[in-house]
Chains A and B, each alone.
Chain A
Amino acid sequence: MEEVEQTAGERMAGGSSPDSTSSRVSASVNTTLTEKKPEAGPAKLGPVGWARWFWRTLTSMKTALILLFLFALASIPGSIWPQRGVSDAMVVRYFDDSPQLAEWLDRFWLFDVFKAPWFAAIYLLLFLSLIGCVLPRTKAHLRELRKKPPAPPRNLVRLPQHASFESDLTVETAAARLRARRFRVTTGPDWVAGEKGYLRETGNLVFHVALLGLLVAVGMGTLYGYRGNVLVVEGEGFANTVAAYDRYMPGQQVSAESLEPFSFALDDFQATYIASGERRGQPLDFEAKLKVTDAPGAPERDYALKVNDPLEVNGTQTYLIDHGYAPTFKITDGKGQVAFDGPVPCLVAQPANFTSECVIKVPDAQPEQLGLLVAFRPTTVPLNGDWVSVFPGAANPTAQVYGAFAGDLGLKNGRPQSVYELDPASLKKMKPLVMKAEPLAVGKKLDLPGGTGSIEFTGVKEWIALQIAYDPGRMPAFVASTLAVLGLVLSLTVRRRRVWVRVKDAPAEASGGSGHEHDRKHVEVGGLTRTEGSDFSEEFAEIVSVLNPGVKDAR
């Protein structure tokens, strides 16, 4: 976004350089100079005038810089407060811990910073501003590319770089030598003008256009892509339909029919941990063995899903993002009927050793519904009259009922309930049966008091959490950002420079007397670059020595 208000030609010739020499020269050399300054406040303008003033101000370099800064500043809150869609659980906790503050923060979209209207306003203005400066600059650059380097200024000595020497150099050889150094060259009767480094502006434009492309790609992803989460227990499966998701976040333009119709079953999940030493318990590898069907009727294939290695079906990616235990239970009710039999996915309470908390709701139990709270420990050891898990792998799994209740679970009152939680309001009205039992090993059973039933711990399965995402903007975003880097490198490393050579007949006193031959010429060379912070003198000296071989440094 460098020097947006200036045209390419003006940039390199030193329009706003504080160096008075070069700006004087550029004024005399450059005719494409069009300084666009935001005009001072329009005192009595019509709507058109206002619009023009607004556009000028918006597309000025200063505004772009300010917007860029605002963009960065505006994203800071997004890293301070938890964000919906990134860490929803923490947002919920925030609302629980300080509801009033949370409500106020929410009013300012501080839990949705990157979807906030004020955030959108900043980047839309920024990109409008980008378009406003890229378009005229592209036009100017295209014109520039077709143009010949300008004729030399009258006085080459006034240029920031200059040299002169006596030699038999002709205009033709000077031009040839400059061309050999990949200068674009024009010649006059007694002068040569050379220019190179056009790639700098090309790179700069590519960079800015690529940024625009990136925005479009991101926008495409949010409109036409979708994302969802689902939890799958070993032995179960998933088919990619909206209903199968635990949580489904579609873009505005996504219809339920456009979901890629693949499905898979989870045969087995395996987590490997370090077994001993200081890092005991650290995970080494996760692998989920899937049987994938790419489309209805297609042959089944095996796939080992791992972290960093998503399953891809026609551009829809499935990621392994979490895992946990799903112990299986068989619950018999007061009437002797099996009211529940299957796995219960548990929340991980202590990630280091996978102590997990499980909630079992048994609405089918007769005569009363049952609710159970169970602690699951994969590797259980007794400690001070209590039990703890010491390893995340399931070496000695136990399930401990620490709360069993009979009564109405409150599922019918219409309020949505989390499957991982007993509704606290209903819980108060339920009858406690057991508050802390001994842990059960696999195959063991606990009888609930009062003939209300029994619970048997029948085995251990594991669950995996998957994220399934479709984002049509991925490849375009990748291409755009790659182009942006290439453009950036060009615009940072290439420098635009001009060199002029003027060949005059040597003045009489110089060629006479000291035995010089008659075709000896007086050659003046001048050069300038507008790229700040770059040192042109070294290259200029090289160029001079190429023009005047045999003399090391002509200055």
Chain B
Amino acid sequence: MPAEVDAGLALLSDQLILATVLLYVFAMIGYALDLGFGRSKVKARAVAEPALVTVGGGTAAAPPASEESSAPAVKAPPAWAMWAGPVAVGLSWLGWAANLGSILTRGLAVGRWPWGNMYEFVVAMCFAAVSAFLFMNLRYRIRFLGAFVMVAATLGLGFSVRYLQVQAGPVVPALNSYWVAIHVSAAIIASGLFIMAGVSGVLYLIRKDTSVRLPSLADLDRVAHRAIVIAFPIWTFAVIAGALWADKAWGRYWGWDPKEVWAFITWIAYAAYLHARATAGFKGKAAMIVQLIAFACLLFNLVGVNIFLGGLHSYAEVPG
């Protein structure tokens, strides 16, 4: 592994990450405008699939409790508002490309996998979350989540640029292994999907019956479940790959290091969510709460363990 760092590429990577943040912010505004002024999802659906809308849920009936929410739904949306959504999606793809570029250039600059410290790890995780959103959007039309995913990604990137950024450079010997490609990539992909699910979960809980502008409970529930069903096996794989690496690096495959403990807890919590959702009478809100507990465990493992508990993971040093 070369010890030299290509300064030009490293700088390009730093600039690309700023571009990413800007593009995500603009995309977020676009999504917000789309939610606020575009065609109301509930109305659109009510016309398209009358059979599926349950009366009494307050959604289809949309009582004129708050004028703001029901008034624009009645009027045809302004022409520019029709464009807000597609433009936002375009901007997100641009931001996604910049994000990818930033990760690639950083990797090329240092000649290794670009997730060797907290900064690089969080950037990659935000990228994974946005990828999860954009690719799921290709298939399932979940544009309604865009604003919220972008908020999460922007916060994550902003936080890591502000507090975690370290100069590009080689990693300590412990991380110089092909297992980085396997274990960490899997952890990143799973985390990205879990973030999507977490965002849906938060929305699910704060959504009021009268907020016709927000995605419906059923949609949120479906997105969260789909993301977790994909993410859970990947997460399991990441943990097992971690155990294989630990067997090579630390002399045991499992030793209840704090990160291992919390990976295990997170795993159980998501398993509990899947069980809860499959168990009659425990669906909906209760399952969603279990999901968010699992998500909190995940975040604690990604951030909290590194800061408060320490352990053997040597990537986890946070610059002071």
Chain A residues in the interface with B (C-beta under 8 A): 1-3, 16-18, 61, 65, 68-69, 71-72, 75-76, 78-80, 83, 85-86, 113-114, 218, 227, 274, 277-279, 282-286, 306-310, 317, 319, 321, 467, 469, 471, 474, 477-478, 481-482, 484-485, 488-489, 492-493, 531-533
Complex Cα–Cα for A321 and B314 (A): 13
Complex Cα–Cα for A85 and B278 (A): 40
A274 and B3: CB pair below 8 A? yes
Could you list 11 further interchain pairs (A-B, Cβ under 8 angstroms) beyond the known A3-B278, A75-B264, A533-B222? A1-B275, A72-B269, A75-B261, A78-B256, A78-B261, A114-B256, A307-B173, A321-B251, A467-B250, A492-B229, A533-B278
Counting CB contacts under 8 A, is B26 at the interface? no
B279 and A284: CB pair below 8 A? no
A79 and B251: CB pair below 8 A? no
Q: Which A residues are in CB contact (< 8 Å) with B262? A: 79
B236 and A484: CB pair below 8 A? yes
Complex Cα–Cα for A469 and B174 (A): 18
Complex Cα–Cα for A421 and B244 (A): 37
Q: Which B residues are in CB contact (< 8 Å) with A113? A: 256
Bitwise interface map of B from 155 to 199 toward A, beta carbon under 8 Å scored 1, else 0 = 000000000000101101110110100000000000000000000
Q: Which A residues are in CB contact (< 8 Å) with B244? A: 478
Closest CB-CB distance, A270 to chain B, in whole Å?
12
Which of A278, A285, A469, A532 is in CB contact (< 8 Å) with B251?
A469
Which of A79, A277, A278, A485 is in CB contact (< 8 Å) with B236?
A485
A2 and B173: CB pair below 8 A? no
Query: What residue of chain B has the Cβ atom nearest to residue A68's Cβ?
Result: B268
Counting CB contacts under 8 A, is B315 at the interface? no
A3, A71, A114, A532: most-surrounded residue (chain B CB, <10 A) = A532
Closest CB-CB distance, B12 to chain A, in whole Å?
18
Known: A284-B3, A485-B240. A471 touches B252 (CB 8 A): yes
Q: Which B residues are in CB contact (< 8 Å) with A65? A: 272, 275
Closest CB-CB distance, B161 to chain A, in whole Å?
17
Bitwise interface map of B from 229 to 259 toward A, beta carbon under 8 Å scored 1, else 0 = 1001100110010011101111111111110
Counting CB contacts under 8 A, is B277 at the interface? yes
Q: Which B residues are in CB contact (< 8 Å) with A306? A: 173
Which of B240, B250, B305 is in CB contact (< 8 Å) with A481?
B240
Known: A79-B305, A309-B248, A492-B232. A286 touches B240 (CB 8 A): no
Query: What residue of chain A has the Cβ atom nearest to residue B265's Cβ?
Result: A72
B172 and A308: CB pair below 8 A? no
Q: Which A residues are in CB contact (< 8 Å) with B236? A: 484-485, 488
Closest CB-CB distance, B67 to chain A, in whole Å?
36
Q: Which A residues are in CB contact (< 8 Å) with B173? A: 283-286, 306-308
Q: Which B residues are in CB contact (< 8 Å) with A310? A: 248, 251
B271 and A533: CB pair below 8 A? no
Chain B residues in the interface with A (C-beta under 8 A): 1, 3, 167, 169-170, 172-174, 176-177, 179, 222, 225, 229, 232-233, 236-237, 240, 243-245, 247-258, 261-262, 264-265, 268-269, 271-272, 274-275, 277-281, 283, 305, 309
B272 and A488: CB pair below 8 A? no
Q: Which B residues are in CB contact (< 8 Å) with A488? A: 232-233, 236
A-B contact pairs, 19 of them (CB 8 A): A3-B279, A68-B268, A71-B268, A75-B256, A80-B309, A83-B256, A278-B169, A279-B169, A282-B169, A284-B1, A308-B176, A308-B179, A471-B253, A474-B247, A474-B253, A482-B240, A485-B233, A492-B233, A493-B229
Q: Is the interface of A mostly helix, strand, loop or mixed?
A: mixed
Q: Which B residues are in CB contact (< 8 Å) with A274? A: 3, 169-170
A307 and B265: CB pair below 8 A? no
B172 and A79: CB pair below 8 A? no
Leading 10 A-B pairs by shortest Cβ distance: A79-B261, A79-B258, A319-B251, A467-B251, A72-B268, A308-B177, A307-B173, A72-B265, A279-B169, A16-B280
A308 and B249: CB pair below 8 A? yes
Query: What residue of chain B has the Cβ atom nearest to residue A15's Cβ?
Result: B280
Complex Cα–Cα for A2 and B258 (A): 28
A86 and B247: CB pair below 8 A? no
Complex Cα–Cα for A71 and B264 (A): 10
Known: A279-B169, A482-B240. A532 touches B247 (CB 8 A): no
Q: Which A residues are in CB contact (< 8 Å) with B279? A: 3, 61
B1, B237, B305: most-surrounded residue (chain A CB, <10 A) = B237
Query: What residue of chain B has the Cβ atom nearest to residue A469's Cβ?
Result: B251
Closest CB-CB distance, A348 to chain B, in whole Å?
15
Q: Which B residues are in CB contact (< 8 Å) with A285? A: 173, 176
B264 and A72: CB pair below 8 A? yes
Known: A76-B261, A481-B240. A319 touches B250 (CB 8 A): yes
Which of A18, A68, A79, A277 is in CB contact (< 8 Å) with B272?
A68
Q: Which B residues are in CB contact (< 8 Å) with A307? A: 173-174, 176, 249
Complex Cα–Cα for A463 and B252 (A): 22
Q: Which B residues are in CB contact (< 8 Å) with A308? A: 173-174, 176-177, 179, 245, 248-249
Q: Which B residues are in CB contact (< 8 Å) with A478? A: 244, 253
Known: A79-B258, A86-B257, A282-B169. A532 touches B264 (CB 8 A): no
Query: What residue of chain A has the Cβ atom nearest to residue B268's Cβ?
Result: A72
Closest CB-CB distance, A544 to chain B, in whole Å?
18
A279 and B167: CB pair below 8 A? yes
Q: Which B residues are in CB contact (< 8 Å) with A3? A: 278-279
Closest CB-CB distance, B222 to chain A, in whole Å?
7
